[in-house]
Structure 1
Amino acid sequence: MDTFSQLILAISVTSFLGFQWLFHRASPWVSTRISPGFDVLSDKQKVEWNSRTVSTLHALLVGLFCLYILFFDDLVNEDPVWGDPTLVKINVAITTGYLISDLLLIFYYWKAIGDKFFVLHHLAALYAYYYVLGQGTLPYFANFRLLAEFSTPCVNQRWFFEVLGYPRASRSNMANGVAMAAVFFAVRIAVMPVYYGRMWAVYGTAAYYLVPWGGRVAWIGSSICLDIMNVMWMHKIARGCSRVLRAGKQGQQVHGLKPQLPHPPPQENGKKD
C-alpha cells in the first residue's frame, strides 16, 4: 500500500472514530447546554437527536469541501472520469468513515433509528465509493453527488423543531421549511442538467470504457435511481412547504399578527422523517 493510500485509510478510520465520539460524547454534552428540552426527551429521541446532530455536522463539513473542489480543482473539472482524485478521495474518505459509523449506530440502536432504506443507501454509497477510493475513477461525479449533503441540515432542523413541540406555523418552522425546499431544489433538482450533461459528454468515450463495468453500473444506475427519488421527495417537500405557508398566512389573518416564536415545553411526538 502506497503512502497516499495509507493516508486515505487513516482519514477514514479517524473519521469513523471522530463521528462516534461526536455521537456518544460531544452531542449529548453540548445539547444539554444549548437546548433545555434535550434532557426531557425519551431515550429513543435522544438517540435520534444525537444521530441527526452528527449528520448535520458531517453534511456541512463535506459539503463545504465539495464546493471548494467544484470551484477550484481544475484537474477534476477538466477530466471528470480520470482527473487527479486527491482532494476528492480525502472528502470521500471522510464520508466513508461517517457512513460506516452511522451503519454501526443504526444496527445497534435499531429500535430508535433503524431504517432499511438508510441501510441500503449507505451500502450502495460505500459500493460506489470503492471505485473512487480504490481505483481513483469518476472523481468529478462522486464529488458532485456530495452537493446533496447541503439539504441535510434543514431536514434535520425540521425534526428538531417537531420533537421540541414547535408549531408548524411558527415563524422559525416556516423559515426553515422554505429554506429546506429551496436548498433541496438547488442541490438535488436544479443541478441535474449539469450533472447529466457532463455524463453524456463522456459517455462512449475512451475514458468511459476504461471504467470497470461495476463502476459504470454504480455510477449510472445509482444516479438514475437516486434522482427519481429526489424528484419524488421534492414533490412532497413542496407540498408540505405550501401547507405550512398557507397555515401561517391563515394564522396571521385570524389573529391579526405574525406568528411568534414558540416557547412550549418539549413534547414526545414520535415523529420521524
Structure 2
Amino acid sequence: MAAKAYKYKAELLVKDYLLADSYVRYASVLGGILMCKLAYDFTRFISSFYFKRYASLSKMQKIEWNNRGMSTVHAVFITFMSSYLVFFSGLFSDQQDGLVTFRSSSLSNFTLGVSVGYFITDLAMILWLYPSLGGMEYVVHHILSLISVMYAMLSEEGQLYTYMSLISEATTPGINLRWFLDVAGMKRSKAYLWNGVAMFVTWLVARIILFTYLFYQIFLHYDQIKQMETFGYLLVSVAPTVLFVMNMIWFYKILRGLKKTLAKRH
C-alpha cells in the first residue's frame, strides 16, 4: 500500500508540476542540460573502460570524444520524438481543428525544451573551446537552431516546421561514428566505408528530401504562416532556407569524400 501511495504521489507531481504548462518549459530546459552532463560523463566513463585508444588521446580529443557522445544521445532522442510528433501523434494532422501553425502540446513543448538545453550546452562548449569543436559554420548553425527552437517553445508557433527541421539530427550519429572510427585508426576498415554510405543516404533523406517536403508544407500553409507574429514569420521564411543551403554544402562535401574513399578502395 505504501509503495502504491508513493507511486500515486509521484505521478501527481509529474502531472501537476513538471508537465504543467507554466513549468514544463523551464523543467525541460534544465532536464536537457542535465541530460547533456550525464551523457558527457557516461561517455567518458564507458570509453575509459572499454576503448583502449581513449587513454592515448590528447586532452582536446577526449573532450571532443565525450562531446560527440553527448550530441549522439540528443540526436537519437530528438529524432525519435520529432518523427513521432510530426508523423504519428496526430498533433499536426490536417484532420485536426485549428490552424496547424498554432498547435502544440505539453509533450511537444517539453521535447523542445530538452533540445534548447542541448543547444545551449553544446554552443557554450563550442564558443569556450573555439575553434577546436567546430568553426563558424557550427556557431551559425547552433545559434539559428537555438533561436528557432526556443521561439517555437515559448510562443507555441510553427512547431511543425521546427520539428521537421529537427529530424535532420538523424544524421548526427553517423557523423560522430565516422569521427570515432577515424580517431581509432580504422579509416581503412569496412566499417568506415559503410559508415560513409550510410551518411550519404541519411543525409539525402533527412536533410535534402525532408527539407524539400518542409518547403512544400510551408507553401501549403502559407496563409496560416502569415498570421504568425512577425518574428516567427521571418524565422519560418529564413531559417529553413539558410539551413538547407548549409545542408547542400555539407552534402557536396560528403559526396566528394565518399567518392574519394571508393576510389581508394578500387
Same fold by TM-score, threshold 0.5 exceeded? Answer: yes
Deviations 1:19-44 (A, max 9, x none): 12322x21111111221100100001
Of residues 63, 69, 79, the one that matches 1:53 is 69
CA RMSD of aligned residues (A): 1.9
**8 A contact 2:171–2:202 mirrored in 1:** yes
Amino acid at match of 2:203: F
SS at match of 1:112: coil
Show the 5 A alignment for 1:13-24.
13-23=30-40
Distance change >3 Å, CA 111–CA 238, structure 1 → 2: closer
Of residues 1, 22, 25, the one that matches 1:5 is 22
The answer for the alignment partner of 1:43 in structure 2 is 59
The answer for the alignment partner of 1:129 in structure 2 is 149
Amino acid at match of 1:33: F
Of residues 153, 160, 183, the one that matches 1:163 is 183
Q: How far did 1:111 drift?
A: 5.7
Show the 5 A alignment for 1:73-92.
73-78=89-94, 79-92=99-112
Q: How far did 1:149 drift?
A: 0.3
Instruction: Measure the CA separation in 2 of the matches of 1:95 and 1:126.
Output: 8
Show the 5 A alignment for 1:145-224.
145-167=165-187, 169-203=188-222, 205=223, 207-224=224-241
**8 A contact 1:59–1:152 mirrored in 2:** yes
Instruction: Measure the CA separation in 2 of the matches of 1:104 and 1:64.
Output: 25
Greater relative CO (CA pairs within 8 A, separation 6+): 1
**8 A contact 2:64–2:133 mirrored in 1:** yes
Deviations 1:35-72 (A, max 9, x none): 11001000010011011110111101111111111222
**8 A contact 2:115–2:149 mirrored in 1:** no
Deviations 1:196-252 (A, max 9, x none): 11100111x2x323211111111111111111111121111112112212222x2xx
TM-score normalised per structure 2: 0.86
SS at match of 2:104: coil
The answer for the alignment partner of 2:139 in structure 1 is 119
Amino acid at match of 1:175: W
Instruction: Measure the CA separation in 2 of the matches of 1:5 and 1:99.
Output: 22
Instruction: Measure the CA separation in 2 of the matches of 1:214 and 1:230.
Output: 23
Q: How far did 1:118 drift?
A: 2.1
Identity, in percent, stands at 25
Instruction: Measure the CA separation in 1 of the matches of 2:256 and 2:135.
Output: 24
Deviations 1:141-175 (A, max 9, x none): 111111100000111111111111113x4211001
**8 A contact 1:66–1:146 mirrored in 2:** yes
Distance change >3 Å, CA 187–CA 66, structure 1 → 2: same
**8 A contact 2:218–2:225 mirrored in 1:** no
Q: Structure 2 unaligned runs (5+)?
A: 1-16
TM-score normalised per structure 1: 0.84
Q: Structure 1 unaligned runs (5+)?
A: 251-273
Aligned residues: 245
SS at match of 1:75: coil
Instruction: Measure the CA separation in 2 of the matches of 1:193 and 1:100.
Output: 28
**8 A contact 2:113–2:150 mirrored in 1:** no
**8 A contact 2:165–2:211 mirrored in 1:** no
Amino acid at match of 1:235: Y
Q: Does 1:66 align with 2:85?
A: no
**8 A contact 2:141–2:243 mirrored in 1:** no
Instruction: Measure the CA separation in 1 of the matches of 2:213 and 2:130.
Output: 38
